Structure 1
Amino acid sequence: MIRCVKTLVILLIGAAAADCSTRQARDDPRDATAQHELAVSYFTGAGVERSYAPAAFWMRKAADQGLADAQSDLGEMYKVGLGVPVDLTQSFAWFLQAAEQGNPVAEYNVGTAYRDGRGVTFDPAKAVEWFSKAAEHDDVDAEVALATAYLNGQGVAADHAEAAAWFRRAAERGSALADYNLGMQYANGDGVPRDTAAALIWLDAAVARANRQTRQKFAMARDAVAKSANELR
């Protein structure tokens, strides 16, 4: 019964917040923050029935007024086709507007667009430029992407020590993929001194943090490193 009451209170608060955002967004067409909040409410179903079309409508209103978070969110909606048709050119354009205001998520997405040639001409050097900006703004995905670019020499001269530094930064912030890559660098002495103990620490962390799709791969790598170490004893 207590749980039901708590749930009802949460739903009522969400509905009240959504209603407040609705009135504010409609009463003041210049209130980009209220428009963005209303868009997010429709997108997530917080206080209103989830519906992507009105989410896109209000997101566009806020984005047109220059709100970086709304521009980034609208770029994502065009990227995957939620509330609007898939349009990678439009997606890139909105990500770029947000990125130019220093939005780290948008900076990362601009980087991936250049890296993959999706919505814009393929340009790995520009990808690295934007990954660097996002990484300096503490975007973990960008840190991993930048490390990978240094590891593979994509858009920048290969530098495995620099790759390890960025993988470590992302790993310390909870990235399982960074854990794995850093662990393998330690296992192979690639960009860092060979250190099996350190390799196993990072590979154990990768397995612990991995999702269902990657856990088996990471576990197999860890077990192979451990087996190799035992054979050398």
Structure 2
Amino acid sequence: MIYVAVFFLVFGVSTLCAQPQIDTRKELAAAQQWLADGEYQQAYEAFHFHAQEKQNPLAQFTLGLFYQQGWGIEVDLKKACRWFESAAEGGIPTANHLFAQCLQNGTHQPADFTSAIHWYQNAADLGHIISWCSIAELTLQGKGIPQNPHKALEQCRQAALTGSTPAQIQMGKFYLHGDTSIQDPRQAAVWFSYAANSGSLEACYHLGVINLNDFNDVTRALNWFETAASQGYLSAYFPTARLYFNAPVSDETKLPTAANLAKAYLWLSATRQLSKDEKELRDTERMLKKIEQIMPESWKKDLDQKVFEHLSAFHQN
């Protein structure tokens, strides 16, 4: 997890000789273990002591995560931002990035894009690669910096070329939804393919969208959607179901094939249980009603069990 990585980044390569430093290291390691074990109150108190009394940047950063994630306490994004600011001033790379997000979004004060770029730049200089794409986003929008879509692409590209999956996804989004001067679905597909090859389900979903809407390749679109859906990516459930529902009917029976009918039912049932999109849910109910008119009743028990097993595997929380 992110706080574990930062812990070792800060302490793992240091030579700590003085006894107070050793004690701090041990105490923070104990607090980290309490956090990992879900002993949130003990962990919070330890981190708060070192953040407040010792002005320890790692402890300050971890307190920010407590308030951001709601680990045993109520989520408070304003407090999270204040602790991220303290940790950023102490040189924690990810804290620089998260504090920049606070400034960009106006979470704890009015949005300040110029300052956000400053802290994103600090994060990037400290090795937080994806921060280049955050700077690129602001460059693309002309917020805090003159608008320059092509410069934005180059800023994010340097992160994507390191193999960063989030940066590759962001490059795909820039080419897909960015300024019209840089939109290029084929280039978007290239970057999403890199990310998909690294296991990104979000990238698989976007490849489904591109193949369906831009390349008019229904077969490949279905393959990408179902790849994402089968591993629990919720946004891909309904597109997968819709493509199975709208698949060509059998030449002999003039009805959907048994396989397509079953798959449509499976993914529509999963959509019905988890989707929050009202239009999607209305369409889901309409399609299920038609399916249930022609699907043998004897199929329902086994198919419902498959839906239950899938949702239990990927959405049990």
TM over 0.5: yes
Q: CA deviation at 1:119?
A: 7.0
Aligned residue in 1 for 2:269: 204
Aligned partners of 2:164, 2:267: CA distance in 1, in Å? Answer: 30
Does the aligned pair in 1 maintain the 2:275–2:281 contact within 8 Å? no
User: What amino acid maps onto 1:121 in structure 2?
Assistant: I
- Cα distance per residue 1:164-202 (max 9 Å; x no partner): 121112113333331001111221226x96522321221
Does the aligned pair in 2 maintain the 1:75–1:95 contact within 8 Å? yes
CA 1:203–1:121: 2 relative to 1, 3 Å: same
Aligned residue in 2 for 1:116: 177
Matched, 1:62 2:129: no
Does the aligned pair in 1 maintain the 2:121–2:135 contact within 8 Å? yes
Aligned partners of 2:48, 2:152: CA distance in 1, in Å? Answer: 32
Which residue of 169, 172, 175 corresponds with 2:227? 169
For residues 129-148 of structure 1, the aligned pairs below 5 Å read 129-148=190-209
Give the number of aligned pairs. Answer: 212
Give unpaired runs (5+ residues) of structure 2: 1-39, 61-85, 249-255, 296-317
Does the aligned pair in 1 maintain the 2:97–2:128 contact within 8 Å? no
Matched, 1:225 2:287: yes
Give unpaired runs (5+ residues) of structure 1: 26-33
User: What amino acid maps onto 1:207 in structure 2?
Assistant: R
Aligned partners of 1:92, 1:200: CA distance in 2, in Å? Answer: 41
Aligned partners of 1:160, 1:39: CA distance in 2, in Å? Answer: 39
Aligned residue in 1 for 2:157: 96
User: What amino acid maps onto 1:129 in structure 2?
Assistant: V
Which residue of 187, 211, 215 corresponds with 2:245? 187
Does the aligned pair in 1 maintain the 2:168–2:194 contact within 8 Å? yes
Q: CA deviation at 1:137?
A: 2.1
Aligned residue in 2 for 1:28: none
Fraction of identical pairs, as percent: 21
Matched, 1:71 2:135: no
Aligned partners of 2:271, 2:50: CA distance in 1, in Å? Answer: 38
Deviates more, 1:52-61 or 1:159-168: 52-61
- TM-score norm. by structure 2 comes to 0.55
Give secondary structure in 2 for the equivalent of 1:138. coil
Across the aligned residues of Structure 1 and Structure 2, the Cα RMSD in angstroms comes to 3.6
- TM-score norm. by structure 1 comes to 0.71
Give secondary structure in 2 for the equivalent of 1:112. helix
- Cα distance per residue 1:132-186 (max 9 Å; x no partner): 112222233321111122223x2x4x43222112111211333333100111122
Deviates more, 1:130-139 or 1:11-20: 11-20
